[in-house]
Amino acid sequence: MLVFDKNGELFLEHVKISDIAEFYGTSTYIYSKKKIIDNFYSYKNYSKFKKMIICFACKTNSNRSILNILASLGAGADTTSGGEIYRCINAGFNPNKIVYAGVGKTKDEIEYALKNNIFMFNVESLEELETIDNTAGKLGVKARISFRINPDVDPDTHSYIVTGKKGTKFGIPYEEAENAYLIANTKKNIKIAGIHFHIGSQITNIKPFELAAKKIKKIVDIIEKNKIKISYVNCGGGLGIQYSKTSVSSEEILTPKLLIDTMFTIFNDKTLIFEPGRSIMANAGYLLTKVIYRKNIINNNKRFIIVDAGMNDLIRPALYGAYHDIIPVKNHGNNLKNNVLTDIVGPICENSDFIGKDRILPVLSQNDLLLVTCAGAYGSAMSSTYNSRPLLAEVLVDNDSLILIRKRGNYSDLTSNEIYLKKRINK
Ligand code: LLP
């Protein structure tokens, strides 16, 4: 938890945020181990009473130390590439708790997954089914599968992260589901284990989940009438979180409990799989950044604060217009007199390079530290070296200790994989 002490110093658990800047520099991703564990238990607590598997969506944050924390709590993993399967196995996940979704699994990736005996493929097309069947046949193994069904439900979220509506590339269309299962049932190297749906991300209302589940339940009944057993129903991820402490009241936020209860009411005799990502990692992570320069725009009555984190480090504001609260690390108290309308922008050569726009913030000085909240999900995982900016350091706060879990990249990392066709330069 973040708290200011009586001297106005900001702490995460028992670690002073300004110490992190001093020891590891800025910008830096910071994670709270306690918050990750608490968030995971907000799902896992219910597994005492229900038959369920919680597969952490590792696309959210794939740092191996973070993955290892979740693996050691008994989580399974939701993966979308051979690389993610590699990371998860490497971080200690039990392969028979790894599920694998994605519309474009290549033959090599499928082979890699089969050789590692993962739990289940979430199959997204009949051509993919064919490739899995052939590859499993060559390896002399059986592949366990679910079909990912697109239930055609509007999850009411940003259009880029809608996945369960007709017209998106995901899953098998609702109307073709029965046929897909009948075909899969004839394949020699395929074992049908379940059904999967994932309708989108950052969903803050239970209704779309409920609607999708009811549609999927109808399909389950039809498939089972064909004497095909569906043992697992994978309800995907998607649970939204509260990004702004001010704009949404806590009552409106969907809880894991409500989601789990709703799904078990609909699928009471099944083992359910959940694939949470954001709701485990987002509010367990922060991006610590530092003010480099300030500019005033006199006519607009606004100022720019230029910080050392850019859209390459946190792309969510640029890509989705996402909102993240930004907190000055120095406590400015309740004196709002000098607060100014501020855009917090990065050093990248694009107008889309901003962390926050039109924020009311106190007067800031050069070298002041700012903390961007809810940055633990799809922050570091989506970062790049655009503008040849090395990847950031990542640290884990565990009670009063501070542990480096990724070294800051350096300039030579930027070119380390490049093949240098050196030409003589004629002066
Ligand atoms: N399962 C599947 C099949 C998924 O595609 C995803 C996320 C999840 C689970 C986890 O969903 P979550 O619980 O995190 O909502 N980069 C975007 C979000 C992309 C979500 C992609 N799929 C963002 O920063 O908002």
pLDDT digits (tens, 9 = 90+) for 270-299: 999 999 999 999 999 999 999 999 998 766
Question: Which structure tokens are listed for 415?
Answer: 């070119």
Q: Is 74 helix (H, G, I), strand (E, B) or coil?
A: coil
Query: What is residue 179's predicted lDDT score, i.e. its pLDDT?
Result: 98
Q: Is 101 helix (H, G, I), strand (E, B) or coil?
A: coil
Q: Regarding predicted confidence, which is higher, 252 or 132?
A: 132
Residues 313 and 383 sit within 8 Å (Cβ to Cβ): yes
Task: Give per-residue pLDDT as tens, 213-254.
Answer: 999 999 999 999 999 999 999 999 999 999 987 655 554 679
DSSP code of residue 79: E
Alpha-carbon gap, residue 155 to 7, rounded angstroms: 45
Closest CA to 17 of 361, 356, 373, 310: 373
Among 108-122, 209-223, 240-254, 411-425, name the one with the lowest average pLDDT.
240-254
Q: Regarding predicted confidence, which is higher, 424 or 366?
A: 366
286: amino acid identity, one letter? Y
Kindly list the distances between the CA atom of residue 42 and the CA atoms of 36, 79, 220, in Å, as whole numbers in the listed order: 10, 21, 28
Residues 391 and 298 sit within 8 Å (Cβ to Cβ): no
Q: Whose alpha carbon is nearest atom 6 of ligand 1?
A: 237
Alpha-carbon gap, residue 62 to 306, rounded angstroms: 28
CA of 361 to the centre of ligand 1 (A): 31
CA of 77 to the centre of ligand 1 (A): 13
pLDDT band, residue 333 (cuts 50/70/90): confident
Q: In terms of pTM, does the model score above 0.85?
A: yes
Alpha-carbon gap, residue 384 to 94, rounded angstroms: 29
Question: Which structure tokens are listed for 161?
Answer: 């992260």
Answer left, alpha or beta for residue 33, where phi above 0 means left and psi between -120 and 50 means alpha: alpha
Task: Give per-residue pLDDT as tens, 29-49.
Answer: 999 999 999 999 999 999 888
Which residues are catalytic, by number?
349
Query: What is residue 338's predicted lDDT score, i.e. its pLDDT?
Result: 72
Which domains, from first to last, does the chain contain? 2-29+283-414 (2.40.37.10), 101-276 (3.20.20.10)
Mean per-residue pLDDT, 187-213: 97
Residues with CB under 6 A from ligand 1: 57, 60, 78, 101, 161, 198, 201-202, 236-239, 275-279, 316, 320, 378
| From 201, 278, 281, 382, mutation site for ligand 1 pocket: most ligand atoms within 8 A of C-beta | 201
Mean per-residue pLDDT, 374-390: 98
Instruction: For the chain, give the mean pLDDT.
Output: 94
Our CA dihedral for 334, 338, 340, 345, rounded to 10 degrees, sits at -80
CA of 348 to the centre of ligand 1 (A): 26
Mean per-residue pLDDT, 9-16: 96
Q: Which atom of ligand 1 is nearest to the CA of 102?
A: 3
Residues 291 and 364 sit within 8 Å (Cβ to Cβ): yes
Where b means 16+ CB within 10 Å and e means fewer, 295-331 reads eeeeeeeebebbbbbbbbbbbbbbebebebbbbbbbe
Closest CA to 309 of 372, 382, 396, 352: 372
pLDDT band, residue 336 (cuts 50/70/90): low
Q: Whose alpha carbon is nearest atom 8 of ligand 1?
A: 237
Q: Which atom of ligand 1 is nearest to the CA of 196?
A: 3
pLDDT band, residue 11 (cuts 50/70/90): very high
Query: What is residue 283's predicted lDDT score, i.e. its pLDDT?
Result: 97
